[in-house]
């Protein structure tokens, strides 16, 4: 498989979070996009959005702006939900899916939703700590924290709310795309059982679990994730 890869970030993040992947695969093949209201992309959506709203926006960016041909859409967390929604809505236009630290349903703890609305910066830091494996050096937070700086604080609440109402558990058998599923073995936000469910319900999918990694598996173990993607792309 020699398709381009488009990386979609998770809640409160921006395209810059994918720097290790863009550096590895190169800018001619790999693209990272900002969702509306994140990073460098102006907001074009209302205060309350669904994952499908983000999927439509991502579709416009990928096909109207970048004009890519049958890309593989790779998403992390919220971005993975967007990838799933795109697989269901635009499957014939895609070359495959890469689902990283995500699930077919993404319920958010009420305390995190409350915190994202009332104290978004503190809650963002709390979520980042939860997103790391216990074996991960906390210094890795410096990278993601810097790379999230351009996203407006209210975006975290909007993103988490979109996650909280997302549910495609009953529709996974409609996806007929090559699919790679990646999860850190110590992911506390979207545990391995979420990835197991995806793997068991998406026909022909491949599941890779990465040890000593949590929710930010692609930042905690970038070499392992990049090689897993490269090998899957070569064999698919």
pLDDT one-digit tens code per residue, 194-216: 999 999 999 999 999 999 999 99
With residues binned 3-state (H G I as helix, E B as strand, rest as coil), the percentages for the chain, rounded to 5, are 50, 15, 40
For residue 201, give both structure tokens: 């319900």
Strand partners, 184: 210
Per the listing, tokens 């993601």 go with 144
Question: What is the per-residue pLDDT for 1?
Answer: 82
Report the candidate in 157, 133, 117 with the shortest Cα–Cα distance to residue 213: 133
- CA 163 – CA 76 distance, rounded (Å): 12
Intervals of the chain under pLDDT 70: 141-150
Q: Containing H/E element for 220?
A: helix 217-220
**CA–CA separation, 65 vs 7, rounded Å?**
15
- How do residues 89-99 score in pLDDT, each as one tens digit? 999 999 999 99
Rounded to 5°, angle at Cα 22 from 214 and 94: 90
Model's pTM, two decimal places? Answer: 0.95
């Amino acid at each position: 498989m020699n398709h381009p890869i488009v990386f979609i970030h998770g809640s409160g993040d921006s395209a810059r979070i994918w720097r290790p992947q863009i550096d590895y695969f190169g800018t001619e093949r790999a693209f990272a996009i900002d969702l509306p209201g994140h990073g460098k992309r102006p907001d074009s959506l209302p205060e309350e959005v669904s994952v499908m709203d983000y999927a439509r926006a991502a579709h416009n960016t990928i096909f109207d702006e970048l004009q890519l041909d049958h890309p593989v859409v790779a998403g992390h967390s919220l971005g993975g939900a967007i990838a799933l929604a795109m697989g269901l809505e635009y499957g014939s236009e895609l070359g495959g899916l890469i689902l990283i630290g995500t699930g077919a349903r993404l319920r958010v703890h009420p305390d995190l939703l409350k915190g994202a609305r009332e104290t978004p910066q503190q809650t963002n830091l709390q979520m980042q700590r939860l997103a790391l494996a216990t074996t991960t050096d906390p210094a890795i937070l410096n990278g993601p924290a810097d790379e999230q700086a351009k996203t407006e604080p209210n975006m975290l609440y909007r993103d988490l709310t979109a996650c909280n109402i997302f549910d495609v558990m009953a529709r996974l058998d409609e996806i007929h795309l090559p699919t790679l599923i990646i999860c850190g073995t110590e992911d506390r936000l979207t545990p391995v059982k979420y990835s197991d469910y995806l793997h068991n319900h998406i026909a022909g999918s491949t599941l890779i679990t990465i040890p000593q990694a949590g929710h930010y598996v692609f930042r905690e173990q970038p070499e392992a994730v990049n090689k897993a993607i490269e090998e899957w792309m070569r064999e698919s």
